[in-house]
């Protein structure tokens, strides 16, 4: 997804589809048009490099995603325990 990011001299993002609030800029305003890959978000812009470089991070998991992962892990652990108990009963 192509998006326009407006940022100040410190690399703080002032305007993008991600930010919702207002931040007073420090120094000059700059912009970048960047491609944001799925599952990533631009958190700031590294202004120490020329040309300036966006800094990407993974989008944090939602509570629902965390719970789904926990259910999958518990289901797998339960299956393993059931298998261990079933093997124990056949050896007795």
41 and 69 in a common domain: no
42 and 14 in a common domain: yes
d(CA 64, CA 76): 18
Top-confidence residue, 24 or 55: 55
What per-residue confidence (pLDDT) applies to 3?
85
Whole-model pTM? Answer: 0.59
Q: Decide if pLDDT at 90 tops 70.
A: no
pLDDT above 90 coverage of the chain, percent? 51
Domain, as residue range, for 66: 61-92
Other CB atoms closer than 10 Å to residue 44's CB: what's the count? 15
Overall number of domains in the chain: 2
* Strands annotated E in the chain: 2-8, 13-15, 29-35, 40-46, 53-58
What per-residue confidence (pLDDT) applies to 16?
60
68 and 43 in a common domain: no
37 and 15 in a common domain: yes
50 and 65 in a common domain: no
14-35 pLDDT per residue, tens = 876 555 566 778 889 999 999 9
Q: Decide if pLDDT at 73 tops 80.
A: yes
66 and 56 in a common domain: no
77 and 32 in a common domain: no
């Amino acid at each position: 997804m192509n998006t326009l990011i407006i940022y100040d001299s410190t690399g703080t993002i002032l305007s993008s589809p991600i930010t919702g609030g207002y931040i007073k800029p420090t120094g000059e305003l700059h912009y970048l048009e960047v491609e944001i890959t799925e599952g990533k978000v631009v958190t700031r812009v590294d202004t120490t490099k020329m040309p300036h470089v966006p800094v990407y991070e993974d989008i944090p998991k939602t509570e629902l995603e965390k719970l789904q992962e926990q259910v999958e892990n518990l289901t797998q652990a339960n299956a393993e325990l059931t298998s261990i108990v079933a093997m124990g009963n056949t050896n007795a």
